[in-house]
Amino acid sequence: MFEYNLIIMEKFITDVFNHCGIRLTSSQVKLFTTYESELLIWNEKFNLTAIRDREGIRTKHFLDSLSILVELKTPAPLRLIDVGTGAGFPGIPLKILLPSMHLTLVESVGKKASFCRHIAEFLQLENVEVITARAEDLGQNPAYREKYDWAVARAVASMPVLAEYLLPLVRIGGAILAQKGESAHAEIQSAEKAIRILGGTLRKVASVTLPGIAEERFLVIMDKKAATPPQYPRRAGLPLKKPLT
């Protein structure tokens, strides 16, 4: 079975090494193969993601998720929270590569959160918590506020909104990472006020290239330099309606 997994995933294995500098073990390949199959099965019933072909899942979900590992090395997370995770991206692929990391997945849509619970259990991933909630509510919850080394999000909201979702969740000295498209630089400019108010500072914007994907991709990394004022995040829905711009 391991040999079969290695054969069908050969291009993915090569892409992960070429673009992320990581050599996947046979055990990790098996986990990704199982994840892929379960996602396809659930997608037929619950429409978890618009990407429904195996090659698309490997590149646009798995490889795209793993592309952020280069930035997570400084420092490597002991505790990471993934906000708006959908079907588990980027959190679960990261957990497969960083098994000792404590992972919290946040998803407000019940069917997607249910899939995340299922796949974490099915893959026997330890220290994975799945929460069906809004990021604004977690940011005001003492059990989660400023408790994480890293907070990450992919395709969730514009940067002014995302800063208010993520920065309250990371400790001082921690960082947030947003996966963005071609609008990344414009969004950063519009988020300068929010970043300053919420205790963050821009570290870098890194370009990401994925095989067969023409669209521009960027990783926006911000460091948490000061405590987030207690009034932030505001109540659920307000950051989206009235961003801090």
Residue spans of the chain under pLDDT 70? 1-7, 74-75
CA distance 213 to 216: 8
Omega before 233 cis (within 30°)? yes
Residue identified by tokens 């997608």 is 43
CA distance 12 to 105: 24
The pLDDT, as a whole number, for residue 6 is 60
CATH of domain 70-241: 3.40.50.150
The pLDDT, as a whole number, for residue 73 is 76
For residue range 138-176, list pLDDT tens digits in order: 999 999 999 999 999 997 899 999 999 999 999 999 999
